[in-house]
A and B are shown apart, each in its own frame.
Chain A
Amino acid sequence: MQLLEFQAKELFREYGINLLDSISSTNIEDGRKHAKELGYPFVIKIQVPVGGRGKAGGIQKCQNDDEFELKYPQVMDLTIKGEKARAILLEKMADIKKELYLSIFLNRSKRCYTIIASAEGGVEIESVKNQIIKEVGLGDVSDELAREVAKEMELEGNTAEQFVDTLKKLSKLTIEKEAELVEINPLAIMQDNTIMALDGKFVTDDNSNFRHPELQQYQEKTAIEEQAEKSGFSLVELDGDIAVVGNGAGLVMSTLDMLSDNGGKPACFLDVGGGATTESVYEALTLISQLPRVKGILVNLYGGIVKTTVVAEAFLKAYENNLIDLPVFSRLKGTESEKAKEMLQGSRTNIFDSVEDAINAAVMGIKK
């Protein structure tokens, strides 16, 4: 999961990384109290798990009560890249001399952690110039290496010392919390030469969640996502009207691609995992029945050893129990598919031999 800025900063604070004073809130009443505690001027920052907040107007300076009353609701109402505000962070205004970039991330192709640092931060990583890149194995950064990075960034004296300290703390945080990415951008040198983390990005390795109960408070899951996870499925909600279900992440992605190529709009990505049983397919239909906008269900199951009759049973049961009243367009590869077709005759489930045919029928069927 990707933490929000204020959550990442909570971790930074815990690890002793320098921060400006800030307070988060989810309503304007609390915000007003925080404004008084903090004192003007400060910055209002929308809390969404995506980048590009500044450009979208999600970061606003605030000099007085009038501006606060105007801007707090404005920022709260923004939707950025489809994400609504989870909270608002009020943060003291900074007197910045220079903006740096610093991150430690999991380098997938090199299979090690890697530091990226630059003396020219404050822009998106793709545009950060003069990147200093150091591979650091499992994430441990020695004093010596941290000094080397500071030197290559042409930092000197006390500023260099503070940078070294920050990098070491970031490394400790990365290792202990098993992050895939920890980024400070910008890491700012202030007018008084102190170093401060002005923004924070933190992505966890979800597979290590069982070792980090302390991070679960940041978990943000809808009820339906939670239900999917309990069943061992993975679900991503999308904004179209055809629910897409299959077994295996690659297969479901591939089905989304083909559906989109044919002009269909997926309502979700739902991977029910390796096998397919009556129970798992019924559970998948239960989840889909709770999604908004769904007008049809596209099923793509590749089961070498799966009995398609077992899947057919799940569809029949779902209609019988009035769980769904939607047309299903299904490609079932497996044994006994003729028998499955017979079972489903007269129901709203159509079985196809090829996924292409199922997709075409789904797109046409939904348009009607």
Chain B
Amino acid sequence: MTDIFELLKGKPGDSDYEKKGVIVQGITGAYGSLHTKQMMAYGTNVVAGVTPGKGGQKFEDKVPVYNTMQEAVDATNAKISIVFVPAKFFLSAAKDALESGIKLLVAIPEHVPIRDTMEALDLANKKGATIIGPNTPGIMIPELIKIGIMPPMPFKAGKIAVLSKSGTLLYEISDALTNSGFGQSITIGIGGDPVNGTRLIDAFEMVKDIPDMEGLVIVGEIGGDSEEILAQRIIDSGFNKPTVAYIAGRAAPKEKRMGHAGAIVMGTYGSAESKVSMFNKANIPVAKRPAEVPVLLAGKMEKSD
């Protein structure tokens, strides 16, 4: 299993400990450049950018831009990249990154064809790399590193891990947690697509052994069965840290895609009822509203004291 913290922070004593280099693919585009500036302002060490045909430029007079990932990786030795290219170019950008030795690829684009995601994933598996996304807000260790598009305000360093399919609900719920005194040790955006590079269950495996973790928050939504599978894993593994879930889409009609490509109930597959009942079985309370998440979490913590 990927040691996500080692990838994001490195080991104490490393020359780049807590300053891991990140390469931005699509750095010169409007969206890529906006969020690169914000990541840099947050303290993320952006070491290079890649835009084919724009090699040799400097982004913000500071970050060198290369034509290919191989050049960028050779020059910086970075193991992390974030992709901002349009969805139809995602697969080639991902291949470029994975072939060049990237070990953590954060895939921001929405509307990537499923087949392209699956092909990228296949290559990532062969290369021992991890893909977060596509259609994700990204991943962050609050107050240390942000590889994504999330606004900084909702987040605060702390001891709660938050895993979320949705971007804005990740912000909303982290905001509610922060306001109740629950900072976050890590937040991982799974993404709203039917096929995720890192599934809820994979993200759980990444975070479950954080030594000082005090709680886990799972933000799911209708579609697929990854919440059910995670609930079963939590039951089977005997994981006993205070855990709270939230599921969006209880009132959504069946057979309709609700904004996210993955948010669709087909028959009973993917329904909110199914997810809520599995969480109940795992003794994980499910909040009715985002604002209720910290309340339920506090309740769980009291009980476990």
Q: A-side interface residues toward B, CB under 8 Å? A: 2, 49-51, 106, 108-109, 111-112, 124-126, 138, 178, 180-181, 205-208, 210-211, 234, 236, 238, 246-254, 256-261, 266, 269, 271, 274, 302-305, 333, 354, 356
Judge whether B1 is part of the interface by a CB distance below 8 angstroms: no
Judge whether B224 is part of the interface by a CB distance below 8 angstroms: yes
Judge whether B112 is part of the interface by a CB distance below 8 angstroms: yes
Q: Which of B122, B169, B251, B259 contacts A234 (CB 8 A)?
A: B259
Q: Which of A51, A109, A178, A238 contacts B229 (CB 8 A)?
A: A109
Give the chain B neighbours of A260 by CB distance below 8 A: 250-251
Q: A108-B195, A180-B194 are in contact. Are A259 and B251 (CB under 8 A)?
A: yes
Q: B-side interface residues toward A, CB under 8 Å? A: 87-88, 111-115, 118-119, 121-122, 149-154, 164-172, 175, 192, 194-196, 199, 201, 219, 221-226, 229, 246, 248-253, 255-263, 266-268, 288-291
* Whole-angstrom CA separation of A251 from B221 in the bound complex: 10
Tell me the number of A-to-B contacts counted with CB atoms below 8 Å.
155
Give the chain B neighbours of A305 by CB distance below 8 A: 151
Q: Which of B113, B224, B258 contacts A211 (CB 8 A)?
A: B113
* Whole-angstrom CA separation of A144 from B172 in the bound complex: 51
Give the chain A neighbours of B249 by CB distance below 8 A: 253, 256-257
Q: How far is the CB of A171 from chain B (nearest CB, A)?
A: 14
* Whole-angstrom CA separation of A124 from B175 in the bound complex: 43
Nearest-neighbor residue (CB-CB) of A264 within chain B: B251
* Whole-angstrom CA separation of A303 from B261 in the bound complex: 22
Q: Which of A124, A257, A266, A333 contacts B248 (CB 8 A)?
A: A257
Give the chain B neighbours of A254 by CB distance below 8 A: 169, 172, 246, 248, 289-290
Nearest-neighbor residue (CB-CB) of A138 within chain B: B118
* Whole-angstrom CA separation of A356 from B221 in the bound complex: 20
A-B contact pairs, 15 of them (CB 8 A): A108-B195, A108-B224, A111-B195, A124-B267, A138-B118, A181-B266, A205-B114, A234-B257, A236-B253, A249-B263, A250-B168, A250-B221, A254-B248, A259-B251, A260-B250
Q: How far is the CB of B115 from chain A (nearest CB, A)?
A: 5
Most buried by A among B167, B221, B223: B167
Q: How far is the CB of A289 from chain B (nearest CB, A)?
A: 21
Q: A111 to B121, Cβ gap below 8 A?
A: yes
Give the chain A neighbours of B167 by CB distance below 8 A: 248, 250, 274
Q: A178 to B113, Cβ gap below 8 A?
A: yes
* Whole-angstrom CA separation of A327 from B170 in the bound complex: 29
Nearest-neighbor residue (CB-CB) of B289 within chain A: A258
Q: Which of A138, A234, A269, A356 contacts B289 (CB 8 A)?
A: A356
Q: A109 to B248, Cβ gap below 8 A?
A: no
Q: B121 to A257, Cβ gap below 8 A?
A: no
Give the chain A neighbours of B248 by CB distance below 8 A: 250-251, 253-254, 257
Q: B171 to A302, Cβ gap below 8 A?
A: yes
Q: How far is the CB of A123 from chain B (nearest CB, A)?
A: 12
Q: B121 to A251, Cβ gap below 8 A?
A: no
Give the chain B neighbours of A210 by CB distance below 8 A: 88
